[in-house]
Structure 1
């Protein structure tokens, strides 16, 4: 399968295609977080509070599991048609979610939407690799990274505004005009594959990989909340996920055209970038989960306002992602940026570990800006490095693999940090109550919400808020060693000269003993 080179694609058409790809990625990234602030309204309307977590898990599960499959199908049969099918599937899921009349229907249709979302995420990044050479790809990759980060932060804010002024159903209907626009633009401007070759699909690998990833994501998403970590359900999901993972590796070694080819892991850039992505995803998604909680409980702000207060994080992530992409496109070496980025990210995590009840909003905004800048220097540049280092026939699978490991890392980070928070919170609150001589709280503290906090006497409220702040601090203390691991892993990323054409694989530039942070481009 081959695509026309970017030299044969007029600039005007390239910009149209890029805009459509950006729209696709924006929609997919937004819908992973936009429902969070609408969940109380949705569950109240559909009478399904006991299944609340599944509205989020269904999308996360479907999008993560489908990512490697979409990537491989694009490699085999051409990315244009599968990107368009992903748009159609996503839009169909959006319409069905908007008209759902029960929690079961909504959860099922969220999974359909997630299947399309997985194709949009990997398809956008893989298509741009087909029409823009690596040397020029940095600026486009930077925009992708910025959009992904912005969507992660803006999703809850946009969801809160839509629920407050319209209906929760418009969270899904709002996707339609933008998705239809992206569909028409890609149909008109995106070049199609020039070859049709018979291929053998890896059905066994697809099935076992889906089973493994599904079990692990369900373990991290539902364990500790829907059922205890020590329950047979949690342990069973973990065992099934690990065993299926081992079987998947065995199958892939024997498959004619594997979903995630073993030879990719022999590529130092892919293996390093996947490890870095996993750890950065672990720290990023795991730690970002607690910022809205801090704002809504400790600072007493609404879900919508808590989204607004996350804007410094978005500005840092979006701005630095674009800046790094632009610098790489101008000839700067990419290897120093993940190193610097993981260092800055770790500093940001450490600073957030000092935030307490009395920390000023300006100081907290500065800390979030630093964290966002660090993440912005890392995430998308890894995709550019991987696409440059693999064969064109593997670009889809390699891009999907990088995103897949980041998503799995995020799932594990959210689950583990969440478990640490829930374990530490009762001890912190009990310690604070003991210091003021309170033995029986005025409300049930097992279900703390912003609403229940208003019913506490001032002295008990102060004790609870300090307990919540201290517990969140401990999460960032745990996140710092994870950031250090990311720094160490980033040092293993090889520097590969970005090629100026689409197809030849570049030669590796020997790693130097000189400090890469001090080297000129």
Structure 2
């Protein structure tokens, strides 16, 4: 399949509407990830099922994660446009059904449909940006996309609270309808691809084995220690069966004509190291966004909106650094830029852990902002390096693998950080003050986040030391010195 020409995806003056459409589609996923949490009490009061509400988040994350590799491969086969439009359609249908849900099990099922849509939207937005912008331009573009998350971290909880208090929690889903329609219309009107028509052999067996195997493993990680004990039959069975399905997947992919996740992704040093870095990014993000609000609300009793703004400092630093990262990697290379970002993230994480013994909203916000600056210099350059090292017909798989790794990092992070916090809370159940216990558990989690950042810099050190122009032309990167 040939690389689309610049004309096929629009000249500079025509790319603005495409970027706006990509920001809208990214906003769908970004707002949805923050708007639901504030509405949970209202949902439970209306539908019941308090014990089941964590599945509203788990099933969404699960569906999103396992579908990314399948969408990514399909986009390299049939093009980006139909896949992202399918994702928007699924997200739209899922949102409408969620708004009309009559029970908690129904809402959980419809959230899974939303997750399937999100699994196409986020990686396709990143891939399309990689298609239509040069390496020098992509940093600023990724900064725009990252800024959507910063805005959503404030807008999402606010809208969720307003809808729940003054209208109905159902509007947190209905609000997606006009956004989906507008984003789809702009993409249909502005984004055009030139795809060489040819017959394809869809790897149904590989897709089924990968989806089944990853579903079981992610489910085991998300629910281990929560819905069931780690050493229970359910937990061991899910891990074992998931592992067997993935072994079968590897065997199938070795013979498939058009594998859904080509094994060459794991044989190229640049792609392997950037994927490992993405794992670390996912773990760091979930650790801070999940435990900073609990820490602030539980130790010094701040309002949820204040704790949310403290976390928003992270998503504020990210787009700032992402927009500026191009200046760094064009001068010092992708590897050194990622190492600089990881060092900054470590400083922020360590400062958060060190100051957690004296709770302060200001210290937490500053630390989160510093971590966000580091994330912008890690995630954006490594993704661009991976995208730029492959031709068009491999870029979807590479971008999808990167996004998939971030989801896995978040899923594993949830399990690890949750186990740490639960162990401390369980040990302190004999009468320790609630605020003190929360502080101890949060401090331990923040230390674990700092360790995750240190492990991420190890992966960064293993990245090939290469020039930007070598990566962009798909040349073999020079070995690290």
| TM-score bracket relative to the smaller structure | over 0.9
Are 1:273 and 1:386, in contact at CA under 8 Å, matched by a contact in 2?
Answer: yes
Are 1:156 and 1:303, in contact at CA under 8 Å, matched by a contact in 2?
Answer: no
Structure 2 residue matching 1:260: 3-state secondary structure: coil
Are 2:310 and 2:364, in contact at CA under 8 Å, matched by a contact in 1?
Answer: no
Answer yes or no: is 1:506 the counterpart of 2:450. no
In the TM superposition, residue 162 of structure 1 has moved relative to its aligned partner by: 3.2
Are 1:316 and 1:371, in contact at CA under 8 Å, matched by a contact in 2?
Answer: yes
Counterpart Cα distance in 2 of 1:83 and 1:496: 32
Answer yes or no: is 1:244 the counterpart of 2:234. no
Equivalent residue, structure 2, for 1:361: 361
Equivalent residue, structure 1, for 2:136: 135
Unaligned runs of 5+ in 1: 434-462, 514-521
Residues 95, 293 of structure 1: CA spacing in aligned structure 2 closer, same or farther, 3 A cutoff?
same
Residues 486, 221 of structure 1: CA spacing in aligned structure 2 closer, same or farther, 3 A cutoff?
same
Match of 1:464 among 431, 434, 457: 434
Answer yes or no: is 1:263 the counterpart of 2:264. yes
Answer yes or no: is 1:493 the counterpart of 2:459. no
Structure 1 residue matching 2:333: 3-state secondary structure: coil
Equivalent residue, structure 2, for 1:342: 342
Equivalent residue, structure 1, for 2:427: 427
Counterpart Cα distance in 1 of 2:100 and 2:469: 48
* Structure with greater proportional helix content: 2
Are 1:86 and 1:120, in contact at CA under 8 Å, matched by a contact in 2?
Answer: yes
Residues 399, 333 of structure 1: CA spacing in aligned structure 2 closer, same or farther, 3 A cutoff?
same
Answer yes or no: is 1:201 the counterpart of 2:202. yes
Answer yes or no: is 1:380 the counterpart of 2:399. no
Counterpart Cα distance in 1 of 2:447 and 2:190: 49
In the TM superposition, residue 468 of structure 1 has moved relative to its aligned partner by: 0.9
Answer yes or no: is 1:186 the counterpart of 2:156. no
Are 1:133 and 1:499, in contact at CA under 8 Å, matched by a contact in 2?
Answer: no
Residues 258-407 of structure 1: matches in 2 within 5 Å? 258-325=259-326, 327-328=328-329, 333-356=333-356, 358-407=358-407
Q: Deviations over 1:117-138 (max 9, x none)?
A: 1100111111122222333322
Structure 2 residue matching 1:479: 3-state secondary structure: helix
Q: Deviations over 1:189-209 (max 9, x none)?
A: 111233211111111110111
In the TM superposition, residue 35 of structure 1 has moved relative to its aligned partner by: 1.2
Equivalent residue, structure 2, for 1:415: 415
Residues 218-257 of structure 1: matches in 2 within 5 Å? 218-257=219-258
Equivalent residue, structure 1, for 2:447: 477
Residues 244, 54 of structure 1: CA spacing in aligned structure 2 closer, same or farther, 3 A cutoff?
same
Counterpart Cα distance in 2 of 1:137 and 1:321: 10
In the TM superposition, residue 303 of structure 1 has moved relative to its aligned partner by: 2.8
In the TM superposition, residue 7 of structure 1 has moved relative to its aligned partner by: 5.4
In the TM superposition, residue 5 of structure 1 has moved relative to its aligned partner by: 2.9
In the TM superposition, residue 511 of structure 1 has moved relative to its aligned partner by: 4.6
Residues 241, 356 of structure 1: CA spacing in aligned structure 2 closer, same or farther, 3 A cutoff?
same
In the TM superposition, residue 287 of structure 1 has moved relative to its aligned partner by: 3.6
Counterpart Cα distance in 1 of 2:150 and 2:5: 29
Counterpart Cα distance in 1 of 2:343 and 2:126: 26
Structure number with greater Rg is: 1
Residues 241, 148 of structure 1: CA spacing in aligned structure 2 closer, same or farther, 3 A cutoff?
farther
Are 2:153 and 2:312, in contact at CA under 8 Å, matched by a contact in 1?
Answer: no
TM-score for both structures, normalised by structure 2: 0.94
Are 1:497 and 1:507, in contact at CA under 8 Å, matched by a contact in 2?
Answer: no
Counterpart Cα distance in 1 of 2:68 and 2:164: 30
Are 2:98 and 2:111, in contact at CA under 8 Å, matched by a contact in 1?
Answer: yes
Structure 2 residue matching 1:104: 3-state secondary structure: helix
Residues 95-174 of structure 1: matches in 2 within 5 Å? 95-148=96-149, 151=152, 155-174=156-175
Counterpart Cα distance in 2 of 1:160 and 1:229: 35
Are 1:31 and 1:155, in contact at CA under 8 Å, matched by a contact in 2?
Answer: yes
Counterpart Cα distance in 1 of 2:327 and 2:114: 33
Residues 372, 219 of structure 1: CA spacing in aligned structure 2 closer, same or farther, 3 A cutoff?
same
Residues 141, 262 of structure 1: CA spacing in aligned structure 2 closer, same or farther, 3 A cutoff?
same
In the TM superposition, residue 66 of structure 1 has moved relative to its aligned partner by: 0.8
Residues 151, 173 of structure 1: CA spacing in aligned structure 2 closer, same or farther, 3 A cutoff?
same
